[in-house]
Amino acid sequence: MTDDPLTALEAHYRSMPPVAAMQIRIAGFDGDHLHLQAPLATHVNDKGTAFGGSLTSLMTLAAWGLTTLQVEAAGLDAEVYVADSDVRYLAPLRGDLEARAELAGGDWEAFLRTLRQRGRARVSLTAQVALPEGGVAAEMQARYVAILRPSAAA
């Protein structure tokens, strides 16, 4: 295992066959935002635009990855799950996919404090897939849940 959290996250993505097929790469992380990219060529639909399921998957993985990075940076050993999400498709995307995830209100410290105290916590995130010319192709509001692993809670 690597000490670099982004390298470890990319390796984790590649360890899941459906996600590996997406050819995702981490395009940036500043502590508050996680950017993922994927080539249009592996996500194109019959109309020559990005497949809606791919947009949703990329946003889901970006928000999951951001939550996972926050949990690991706090030194906690927890599983992170998507609890629910609401996706809106706003415009067709004819270029490579780029998703950006961020916290939606609240704060990471409160989420992490609850996780430490109760062994589980939830947090709301937003994610968007940008259009190359500006604007948004799709957006997602989602809640993620983190649950301490039994060995970590003891």
* pLDDT per residue of the chain (154 residues) written in tens, 0 to 9: 457 999 999 999 999 999 999 999 999 999 999 999 999 999 999 999 999 999 999 999 999 999 999 999 999 999 999 999 999 999 999 999 999 999 998 899 999 999 999 999 999 999 999 999 999 999 999 999 999 998 755 4
What's the pLDDT tens digit per position in 91-136? Answer: 999 999 999 999 998 899 999 999 999 999 999 999 999 999 999 9
pTM of the model: 0.93
Pairing of strands 78-89, 136-148: antiparallel
Residues 6+ apart with CB under 8 A from 24: 10, 13, 36, 37, 38, 58, 61
Domain count, the chain: 1
Which pLDDT belongs to residue 154?
Answer: 47
Q: Which domain holds residue 109?
A: 5-153
Residue 139: which CATH number?
A: 3.10.129.10
